Amino acid sequence: MADLSKVRNIGISAHIDSGKTTLSERILFYTGKIHAIHEVRGKDGVGAKMDSMDLEREKGITIQSAATYCEWGDFNINLIDTPGHVDFTVEVERALRVLDGAVLVLCSVAGVQSQSITVDRQMRRYSVPRLAFINKCDRSGANPDRVMAQLAEKLQHNPAFVTYPIGLEDKLEGVLDIVNMKAVYFDGEGGSDIRVEEIPVHMADKAGELRRRLVEVAADFDDSLMEKFLMDEQPTTAELMAAIRKGTLTMNMTPVFCGSAYKNKGVQTLLDGVTNFLPAPFDINNEALDQDKNEEKVALASDPSKPLVMLAFKLEDGRYGQLTYMRIYQGTVKKGDFIFNVSGNKKIKVPRLVRMHSSEMHDIEEARAGDIVALFGVDCASGDTFTDGTVNYSMTSMFVPEPVIELAVAPKDKAGQVNFSKALNRFTKEDPTFRVSRDEESGETIIKGMGELHLDIYIERIKREYNTEVIVGRPKVAFREAISQRAEFNYTHKKQTGGSGQFGRVGGFIEPLPLDAVETYEFVDDIVGGVIPREYIPACNKGFQEALQEGTIIGQKIVGVRVTINDGATHAVDSSEQAFKTASLMAFREAYMKAKPIVLEPIMKLEVSAPEEFQGTVIGQINQRRGVIIRTESDVAYVTVEAEVPLSEMFGYSTDLRSVTQGKGEFSMEFAKYSQIPKNIQDEMAKEHAAKRAEGR
């Protein structure tokens, strides 16, 4: 079995079109996992290895994160290539949740883009140390120094070049290795032959300057290095590398590598960086919650001899049933072992254990702490924790954003109903941001997701993978309701029927939570003196939660509410859980109208880039769509406009943008926040909802 210090679990993530999949492809080629290079949008029609879905190959984008493993020297690397498109953000979340380190890929022309900022935020959320790779240094307009400045300004990193391109654009020859002060060239078929030479004379000054900067940044993490830096002495290579690693692991420094994956330059030096600077499994502090000790935090050790703890982070329904991707944090799992799913405490036998290489499977007998593997025939949900039964630990799951867009869908003919249901069941299990519900009034099936592309891809997959044509309604925005002020309630629920009746009284108040609060509902129990017995408190909480499912203005979910109960009354015979649940539900409805309810709409962060001559038209278009311009930036005859725009105004935007910019404008959009809708629009929506309800009666 591999030595744990030689294992690296890494992800590759970036803005769409920065070259992540091309980079993964080169990594597999240089590590001997594949023997020929295929391009993402290749003429040979094969497509990249990591894009195993037909749709991915056609559209030239990554939709699902693909996992593989490879060897570099005596290191084992588990690699996950994640999507760059914001609609598939949950794929990035789930990959980062289980990875130890990451490579942030940036385009040397476009630099730090909106999605790079999102990915960086996700890396911080899970405290994932990272390297940066400035790709596409062969493209016209390549400027790694500018990207470096953006890393510091826009992302607040503390970056330093570890490799730097020799020549740019079509003159890219190789890279400078700043740690060893050598020039590295990549010759032969596919850049596989590495040639190391002295630094060219014309780049000696630049190399000296970059070396000083690297030592200066790294010296912050090592006192002896700091002394040498102040005395103007040169550190040894080993000292410098140890300091860079220390800075990277604490996320206080970002080593920056350069190259061009497409032109086969600089990828091998990046692989050296992955093994030298990114963490081994035991360098990361992983914690679980002990369910037997009131969710007390427990540190997990990357030790194969300790009790087993592993997390299911991704599900896929394949030809042979459900495939569950697992990250093992502690202990060992063997084929034929019994494992326990902590949620529901189900005992399962491990029928088959595999390592994934994109869509291929390689059978293995056992896996240990630090490994990423896949299991067959394990029925579970994404985010479930598995143990060997000796401990009752659960790992915290990942952050799942709320869907912002919905569509009514139905199979074209009755015969497709079974496959249609199968597809929806499968996709909801695999993707936590894809939700399916039924509209009780219209009887329609509603699918919800993170954006138009997200839902389009699933509809396309139903057609292809399940052979079912789908009728699609107009896209609708997922509005929410909220309250704008505090309101009291005091409600008594009384019902007398033959035998025992129902009685429960609840008193308290509701108040709005801040709009940026992580939780959308908070329950505060301020009952003293047992006026409501302890056993009925959970029923009150349930009643309030039920009331939140549908607001009265437009019938949408209510968010951002804190409910406090501080009074109540009970009856020795007639009180029950049901009575208190009903009392709470009715109390909330009574207080809701007094709390001045408002409608919230999803606001998207929009980033548009277009040639400078179209700046006025682009801004005019955003203003027409109730957008608020946050900033504009000009660079090399192109302008980038950042704005916040209501999602409801963004349908059909891509066509409009293309027509006013002669097809040269591009945009990316991601969910930013929920915000109050203008009063006149709210009144119109309320009228429509009331009319619909009257019809329904």
Q: Give the whole-angstrom CA distance, residue 566 versus residue 584.
A: 12
Predicted local confidence at residue 48, as pLDDT = 44
Give 273's pLDDT tier (boundaries 50, 70, 90). Answer: very high
14-31 burial by CB neighbour count: b if 16+ within 10 A, else e? bbbbbbbbbbbbbbbbbb
What mean pLDDT comes out for the span 135-149? 89
Sign of CA dihedral 359, 363, 369, 375: positive
Interacting residues of 592 by C-beta distance below 8 A, sequence separation 6+ = 483, 487, 510, 547, 551, 552, 558
Predicted local confidence at residue 460, as pLDDT = 86
Q: Read off the tokens for 641.
A: 């406009």
Instruction: Give the gyration radius of the chain's Cα atoms.
Output: 28
pLDDT higher than 60, residue 64? no
Give 16's pLDDT tier (boundaries 50, 70, 90). Answer: low
Of the listed ranges 86-100, 390-404, 658-672, the least confidently predicted one is: 86-100
Predicted local confidence at residue 256, as pLDDT = 94
Predicted local confidence at residue 52, as pLDDT = 42
pLDDT in tens, 382-439: 778 888 888 888 876 556 667 778 888 888 888 888 888 888 888 887 777 888 888 7
Of the listed ranges 136-140, 308-312, 499-503, the least confidently predicted one is: 499-503
What mean pLDDT comes out for the span 590-615? 88
* pLDDT: which is higher, 558 or 233: 558
Q: Read off the tokens for 593.
A: 């109208």
Of the listed ranges 45-54, 302-311, 600-609, the least confidently predicted one is: 45-54
What mean pLDDT comes out for the span 558-586? 89
> Which residue, 659, 650, 655, 651, is CA-closest to 622?
650
pLDDT in tens, 209-219: 998 898 888 88
pLDDT higher than 80, residue 695? no
Interacting residues of 603 by C-beta distance below 8 A, sequence separation 6+ = 644, 645, 646, 647, 671, 672, 673, 674, 675
> Which residue, 598, 502, 514, 492, is CA-closest to 561?
514
Matching residue, tokens 């209501």:
646
pLDDT in tens, 367-383: 888 888 888 777 777 77
Give 36's pLDDT tier (boundaries 50, 70, 90). Answer: low
Cβ neighbours, 10 Å, residue 345: 11
Of the listed ranges 47-51, 94-98, 139-143, the least confidently predicted one is: 47-51
Q: Read off the tokens for 308.
A: 């087993």
Predicted local confidence at residue 44, as pLDDT = 37
pLDDT in tens, 217-261: 888 888 888 888 888 788 888 888 889 999 999 989 999 999 988
Mean pLDDT of the chain: 82
Query: For strand 338-341 and strand 385-387, is the pairing parallel, antiparallel, or unpaired?
Result: antiparallel
Predicted local confidence at residue 320, as pLDDT = 63
Rounded percentage of the chain residues whose pLDDT exceeds 90: 17
